[in-house]
Structure 1
Amino acid sequence: MKILILCTGNSCRSQMAEGFLQSYDSNLTVRSAGTEASGTLNEKAVAVMKEVGIDISHHTSDSVDLYLDQEWDYVITVCGGANESCPTFTGSVKNRWHIGFDDPSHATGTDEFIWSEFRRVRNEIRITFESFYNSQVKGIRQCGC
């Protein structure tokens, strides 16, 4: 099964979602990309994922253009703010989903608050993508459908 997770910058939320999905099943093909890929990962996103035992430091921030000529079982957008435009995917995809999350990289305030926002969003992504995996992916993978 092939899953592509899209965001605008591909530096934070989509990277965390990719990390969680890959940790659930190493046989999945999971990628993340951005319509305006930043080219780098957000250091705080890498750090909060490491706190839960998932290393995403080797991930790359890629443009969605790299994946347009491939077929995908799921393409999931993870942008969430009302002022943020969600990317669109024009390639071949069986299922399109939108699961929105706040962008913790936009948090302002004390260091403590900013870190708490990264952890909150990470935890929301973990819960949501674990549910997605269990309801949409796991059963299909077990039956060989």
Structure 2
Amino acid sequence: MSKRHILFLCTGNSCRSQMAEGWARHFHGDEIEAHSAGIETHGLNPNAAKVMREAGVDISSHTSKLASSLTEVPLELVVTVCGHADENCPAFLTSAKVVHVGFDDPPKLAKEAANEEAALDCYRRVRDEIRDFVRDQLASHL
């Protein structure tokens, strides 16, 4: 049986979509080929990689990719994880089922943090919310 291809789409493919890809590979790697991409590329956020590593999932080798780099991938599901990506989802992706599940932007939340540990807590909260969605609800969208 071939794996089902899914894409997590965000604005810059630096944080939320990368976390979601990591969790999908962790929980559903036998059935799903997970991808992440962005409307733009902003590079992998080091704090996203750090908090994922704390949870036992290594995304440090992930790279930030444009959605247009996946035109040949037979996507079945596109999950937009931020409002901007949902509103600007490239037309070629809409041949797949598109579901919007918005998560707060950790870098934006962290700007208000009193110190580095409080900033990382912003990333951890969103990491755990994405984990719960991917683990418990993703399969129901396929």
Q: What is the CA deviation profile of residues 78-101 of structure 1, one whole-angstrom value per residue up to 9, with x for unaligned ones?
A: 015xxx463303225331100000
Shift of 1:134: 4.3
Q: Within 5 A, what are the aligned runs for 1:1-145?
A: 1-27=4-30, 28-38=32-42, 40-80=43-83, 84=84, 86=86, 87-92=88-93, 93-106=95-108, 107-108=110-111, 109=113, 110-137=115-142
SS at match of 2:21: helix
TM-score normalised by the chain length of structure 1:
0.84
Structure number with higher helix proportion: 2
Question: Could you list the runs of 5+ residues in structure 2 that have no partner in the other structure?
Answer: none
Runs of 4+ in 1 over 6 A off after TM superposition: none
| Contact kept? 2:5, 2:73, Cα under 8 Å | no
Q: What is the CA deviation profile of residues 43-97 of structure 1, one whole-angstrom value per residue up to 9, with x for unaligned ones?
A: 00001000111000111100111013433110010015xxx46330322533110
Shift of 1:112: 2.2
Identity of aligned residues (%): 41
Question: Could you list the runs of 5+ residues in structure 1 that have no partner in the other structure?
Answer: 138-145
Give the CA RMSD over aligned residues.
1.6
| Contact kept? 2:38, 2:85, Cα under 8 Å | no
Shift of 1:31: 0.5
Q: In structure 2, what residue type is equivalent to 1:96?
A: V
